[in-house]
Amino acid sequence: MKTQTIIKTIFGICLFIMLFFSLVNAEDFDYYAMNLNYNNGQLTIDSIELKTSNFLPEFSTEKTEGMNQNYVTILDNQNLVLDINYFYFSNRLYYDVVDDISAENPEIISGDSVELKETSYSVYVSYYENARYIILYDVNGMEIDKWDLSTNARYAAPGAETSSGSGVGGGIYIPKIINIKSEDIEKGITKTINAEQTINIQISSGAIAGVIEPHTVKTTLINNNQVKIIISSEPQEKILSVGEEWKIDVNGDGNYELMIKLNSIQNNHPVLSLKYINETFNSNDTEETPGVVENTGQETSKLLEQIIIPLVLAIILLLVILFVWKPWKKR
């Protein structure tokens, strides 16, 4: 009888350990694997797959000779930036030149490289439950490809809007997404935009010289006198009236880097001015600082799945084992 009690106890402990570790190490999709295709100077997204946290091959995040810096942004349904990932890519293949290729241990005598016309490359970026789009940018920060995660296919843009009327001129084309380079923001730029518009901008970092930060400005026309503006990657929003300016600390360093002004609204088309500024935040300002939307839902979900739930189940299982073992001990 005592032997049976020992066997049951050992079995229960083993079952407890196996269940606990199986729950903690449960498969969880944590990363997107972006498969890129390079063809005669054009880098595009070929496919995107979900990978587990246990499968994360390394890719180049450090620059070497001949490599160009690209980056991708992850956006939600509202075109707000959830994450930005930089990577280095090169279509140049480096190889060693040996003295005798037929020898058992050939000696390397030099090295060379060849430029590939076609090649493939993979980039791994963070997974977000509320992610909708992944956008690929070239070395100049211009959008070159966009992937719709809801359909797992290349984004098919709806018909472009065309505005008309004396305010903005007949037949002027305004794309759904506008890209503005950092040098244009530095000088200041004015744009006539759609009633609903996404603007990708580049801003020089005030904290680190030479660093260009990508951000997204999304606008929504409220009425003929007001426009709602949302800027990310640290989401902030404000409703501007015609003639009103908004100074924004885009990266949370305590300095204003961007000023947006709503000049006018012509035939339901806002006219915005955007300009880089470098002004220290004035603590005496009475204007309420726009709130930052934090993406905490995903972290909370992971905490529940990986720690709290397994721990609760482990405690319950341990109590069951003790309950079963105690009567056997009395016998």
Position 60 scores a pLDDT of: 46
Q: Is residue 292 part of a domain?
A: no
Do 241 and 316 lie in one domain? The reply is no
Q: How many CB atoms lie within 10 A of CB 147?
A: 23
Rg (CA), the chain: 28
Query: Which span out of 106-110, 224-228, 285-289 was modeled with the highest average pLDDT?
Result: 224-228
Is residue 16 over pLDDT 80? no
Residues 257 and 271 in one domain: yes
What is the rounded average pLDDT for all residues in the chain?
74
pLDDT band per the 50, 70, 90 thresholds, residue 133 = very high
Q: Is the separation of the CB atoms in 267 and 165 below 8 Å?
A: yes
Distance CA 193, CA 101 (A): 62
Shared domain for 174 and 261, answered yes or no, is yes
70 against 328, higher pLDDT: 70
* 287 within some domain: no
Do 185 and 146 share a domain, yes or no? no
Considering only CA atoms, which of 160, 153, 41, 147 is closest in space to residue 91?
41
Residue 288 lies in a domain: no
Q: Confirm whether 171 is domain-assigned.
A: yes
Residue 221 lies in a domain: yes
Tokens found for residue 20: 């606990």
Asked if 47 and 76 sit in the same domain, the reply is yes
For residue 172, what pLDDT is reported? Answer: 43
Check whether 296 has a pLDDT greater than 50. Answer: no
Residue 288 confidence (pLDDT):
42
Q: Are residues 10 and 65 in the same domain?
A: no
Both 177 and 275 in one domain: the answer is: yes
The confidence score (pLDDT) of residue 66 equals: 54
Residues 22 and 33 in one domain: no
**Cβ atoms of residues 256 and 237 within 8 Å:** no
Final residue before a domain boundary, out of 134, 154, 174: 154
**Residue 41 structural domain:** 29-154
pTM of the model: 0.42
Q: What is the pLDDT of residue 238?
A: 92
User: Could you read off the pLDDT of 198-239 as tens digits, one per residue?
Assistant: 888 888 765 555 577 888 888 888 888 999 999 887 788 999
Assign 3-state DSSP to the chain and report helix, strand, coil percentages, each to 5. Answer: 20, 45, 35
Q: Please state the φ and ψ torsions of residue 126, each to the nearest 5 degrees.
A: -65, 145
pLDDT band at 9 (very low <50, low <70, confident <90, very high): low
- What Cα–Cα distance (Å) separates residue 63 from each residue in 68, 86, 262, 277? 8, 11, 40, 30
In a domain, 218, yes or no: yes
Closest CA to 60 of 39, 23, 87: 87
Residues 122, 235, single domain; the answer is no
Whether residue 144 is found in the same domain as residue 213: no
Regarding whether 47 and 132 lie in a shared domain, the answer is yes
Q: Rounded to whole angstroms, how far apart are CA atoms 47 and 152? A: 8
Number of domains in the chain: 3
Residue 88 lies in a domain: yes
- CATH code where residue 226 lies: 2.60.98
Q: Write down which residue in 137, 154, 171 finishes a domain.
A: 154
In a domain, 307, yes or no: yes
Sign of CA dihedral 239, 243, 249, 254: negative
For 232-281, how does the pLDDT look when each residue is reduced to its tens digit (9 = 90+)?
Answer: 877 889 999 999 999 998 887 888 889 999 999 887 888 899 999 988 87
Return all residues near 103 (Cβ < 8 A) that are at least 6 apart. none
User: 56 with 18, same domain?
Assistant: no
